[in-house]
Structures are given as structure tokens and as C-alpha cells.
Amino acid sequence: MNNVLRIDRLEPLIIPMTALLFALILFAIFITLVGADPFGVFHSIYRGAFGSWFSWQNTLVRAAPLMLTALCTALPARMGLIVIGGEGAFVLGGLCSALTGLMLVGSPAWFAISMMMLAGAITGGLWIAAAGALKYRRGVNETISSLLMNYIAIAVMNFLIIGVLRDPATLNKPSTYPIDEAHMFVDIGNSSIHWGLVVSIVICLLLWFLSRRTVFGYAVDIAGGNERAARIARLPVGFLVLATCFLGGASAGIAGMIEVAAIHGRANTSLNAGYGYEGILIAFLARHNPLLIIPAAILMGGIRAASGLLQRSHDLPDATSLVMQGIIFIVILGSESLYGRFKIFRQQHSSERAVA
């Protein structure tokens, strides 16, 4: 039985792929309505995202933080929580890692980078764990609380960089003082891709391993699948909620750290660029599987990278790629309700009912 290609195993692949195709058709209709040529637009998106080594580099640089912010939604989702606070964890993680970097100016690069990463991870982790604790202890809806906490995080950062942490030299764009040049992430070889991409992929792989191969991941699967069953097995449900939220938040915090250490060199409002929100879309696209997040993030990073080209060659506004992402998000979310609806995927079950 096991060596036969089982169509019911393909369900989690076929449904999102079909949904993606459907979303592209909807987007094509939108493009036609605003008076552009959809095939030309799709071609440009492809060229801008994956058409050349240059566009690939652009895509991968954008994909790196998206992988990590996606984990911020994906890990708690395995526990049945819908956390959308990646933006807040990203911003605060970036801010705290920049501050840590400022305190460590002149120290060895490996040490400073590790400490900055740790600071980003702990800040982001505690931030999302707070939403988890509110949910577990007080029953506060984690989706609402994590969303509102995004605004708090952004406000805190703005308050600090306009106020006490401001480098007086930054006039138009208030920022912290820059971190030590020597502590910045360098590019891989002579590409424009920084080492943050490698860090992001490694974290995705590690968390995939954690959720698929370890006792911790198994316990999360039980508690996320049925809390009552987890309680009867006397698993520490509260700890699991906090731990998954912490790990998710830590990933987003590290993304903020990478953004600071690889791109801006300091913390400023550029951190608040929507990577956290885009991560939500990627997590759902990848069905909360840390391994599938890697290709999903590359796809979305590509769309982001292509938006400039759309503007130049089709005279479409910058927001066009946001419209596309929005359509994809809605269609993917809608497709979640289709699991188990198609007869073709249930052949195995029906043959079983006959013997039962």
C-alpha cells in the first residue's frame, strides 16, 4: 500500500497550488480592468523576481526576513493560536539588537553579532510570549492582542528614536547612532546577498526539525490538535503555548536584528516596513510548515522585488504588488475551508468505512 502514489497525501500540495493559480487569474482580471496587459505584467513580475541573477539576488535579500517573520505566525499556529504580532516583534527585536550593538562597539565581531542576535531573539520572544500568556492565563484573544501590540511596539520605537536614543546627525529620518561597521553582516562572495539569508534558512530548518523530529514537536502537535487530549496525557499545555510563542517571536526578533545588522546599520522607522504582516501571508501559504516557508518566502520576496519594475515598465502604482499579495492571501485563506471536501482525496477513507 505504501509504495503506491497516494492521492490523499497530495491534498496539502494540490489545494494551495490551485488556490494560487486562481488568485493569479483574479489578479489578471484586476490588471485588465486597470487597463494593462496581464501577460506583460506576469512576464515583468517573473523578470523582476527570477529573470536574472540580479533579480534573484534582490528576491533572496527580501525573502530572508520574510522567512523569519512567517515563523512568528507558523509556530504558534501549530498550537492552534493565530498570532499576527510579527511586525511588533520585528521592530522591537531590531531596536534592542541595535542598542546592544551600540553598547558593544569595538568588541570582537563574532561576540557582538551573537549578542545582538540574542538580544533580538529574547526581545521578540518575550513580546509574543506575552500575547501567549495573556491568552493562556486570562483568555485574551491572541490575534487581537498581538495585533494591538504591534502598534505599541512601533510607538515605543518611535518614542525612543525621536527622543533619548536619537543620533542628532539624523535630521530627516530620526535614527539611533549607527552600530560598529565591523559588526555588520557582509555579503556572500561578490553577490549582494548577505549572510542573513543563510541564518534565516538555518533557523527554518532547525525549527522544522524541532517540530517534526523531537519530543517537543510531538507534544505541540498533540496540544495543537486537541487540547483536551493533551490535558489527559498531562502535557504542560501552558508551557507549550509560551514556548511556541517565544520561539515564533524570537524568529521575528532575529529578522529585525538582521535588518539592522545587514541593511540599515541602525534602528529607524525603516524597520516598520510590513515584513511582519507579509510573514502572516507566507505562514498560511506554507500551511505553517517551517520547511515550506522557505520557498513561500522566496515567492513573496520575488513579488516584492518585482514591484519596482512594474512601476517602471507598466506605469502601474507601487501598490500593485500589494494588491496581488492581498488577493493571494484572501484566496489562500479561503482555500483552507476546502480540505476534506473533495471526494478524490478521500478514497482511502471510504474503503476503510466499508470494513469498519
Chain residues in the site for other proteins (CB under 8 A): 1-2, 213-215, 217-219, 221-222, 225-226, 228-229, 231-236, 343, 346, 348-356
Cα torsion 125, 126, 131, 134: sign: positive
Report the alpha-carbon distance of residue 203 to residue 74 in Å, rounded: 13
Contact 24, 320 (CB under 8 A): no
Closest to other proteins by CB, 10 vs 229, is 229
Give me the least distance between CB of 251 and other proteins, in Å please: 21
Closest to other proteins by CB, 51 vs 217, is 217
Does an H or E element contain 56, and which?
helix 53-78
**Amino acid type, 281:** L
Closest to other proteins by CB, 4 vs 33, is 4
Side-chain-side CA neighbours of 70 within 13 Å: the count stands at 34
Closest to other proteins by CB, 138 vs 228, is 228
Give me the least distance between CB of 228 and other proteins, in Å please: 5
Give me the least distance between CB of 223 and other proteins, in Å please: 9
Report the alpha-carbon distance of residue 236 to residue 12 in Å, rounded: 29
Helix axes 86-103, 53-78, angle to 10 degrees: 110
Closest to other proteins by CB, 219 vs 241, is 219
CA triple 298-304-310, angle to 5 deg? 130
Closest to other proteins by CB, 84 vs 230, is 230
Q: Residue 325's closest CA among 4, 57, 62?
A: 62
- Residue reference for cell 527622543: 163
Closest to other proteins by CB, 32 vs 214, is 214
Give me the least distance between CB of 243 and other proteins, in Å please: 15
Give me the least distance between CB of 166 and other proteins, in Å please: 47
CA 150 to chain centre: 15
C-alpha cell read off for 331: 484566496
Q: Which residues pair with 194 in a beta bridge?
A: 187
Give me the least distance between CB of 218 and other proteins, in Å please: 5
Report the alpha-carbon distance of residue 62 to residue 122 in Å, rounded: 23
Report the alpha-carbon distance of residue 150 to residue 157 in Å, rounded: 11
C-alpha cell read off for 195: 549572510
Give me the least distance between CB of 134 and other proteins, in Å please: 19
C-alpha cell read off for 57: 539576488
Closest to other proteins by CB, 337 vs 350, is 350
Give me the least distance between CB of 209 and other proteins, in Å please: 9
